[in-house]
Every structure is written in C-alpha cells, then in structure tokens.
C-alpha cells in the first residue's frame, strides 16, 4: 500500500470514528462530493436501527440468495404474514 492510499484510508476511518457512521468516503483530490457523503451518512443512520435479520437479508439479496435459503439461514418464514 502506498503512502497516499494509507493516509486516505486512515482519514476515512477517522471520519467513521468521529461520526459513528458505517460508511465514509475518502481519497482522491479534496473532499468527496457532498451529495455522496451525505447519502452514505443517511444510509448509515437508517441502518443503525436494523436488526440482524434485516442486515442479513440485505447481504443475501446482494449475493442473489433465494428466498427459501434466506429464510432457512435466518430462521424465519419465507412468506409474509
């Protein structure tokens, strides 16, 4: 890892520690675009209240896991009540 990349990564982690958010953007020249940064902060804020099943469902949707497999892994029914 080159020096600039290391410092950008460290700056990103510092932002996450200061804000408590799950995501941050660092690197490149200057500050990240405000809309991108604020959108990631909003998503982080929303996800803070998610439980294990919601986070697991999101992760499995990103991996194209089938509904029945998701339900089995999370220990829930595969049909809405």
Residues 32 and 55 in one domain: no
Residues 17 and 36 in one domain: yes
Domains of the chain: total: 2
Q: Give the model's pLDDT for residue 13.
A: 87
Whether residue 57 sits in one domain with residue 35: no
Kindly give the interhelix angle for 52-62 and 67-74, rounded to the nearest 10 degrees: 150
User: 66: pLDDT confidence band, cut at 50, 70 and 90?
Assistant: very high
- The residue that leads in pLDDT, 28 or 44, is 44
The pLDDT, as a whole number, for residue 80 is 65
Instruction: Using pLDDT thresholds of 50, 70 and 90, give the confidence band for residue 65.
Output: very high
- H/E segment holding residue 14: helix 3-19
Q: Give CA–CA dist 27/43, Å, rounded.
A: 20
Same domain for 55 and 26: no
* pLDDT above 70 for 48: yes
Same domain, 37 and 66: no
Same domain, 68 and 37: no
Q: What is the mean pLDDT of the chain?
A: 83
| Structural domain range at position 8 | 1-43
């Amino acid at each position: 890892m080159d020096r600039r990349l290391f410092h950008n990564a460290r700056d990103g982690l510092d932002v996450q520690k200061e804000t408590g958010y799950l995501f941050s953007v660092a690197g490149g020249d200057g500050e990240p675009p405000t809309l991108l940064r604020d959108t990631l902060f909003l998503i982080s804020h929303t996800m803070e209240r998610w439980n294990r099943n919601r986070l697991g469902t999101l992760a499995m949707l990103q991996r194209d896991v089938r509904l029945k497999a998701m339900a089995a892994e999370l220990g829930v029914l595969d049909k809405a009540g």
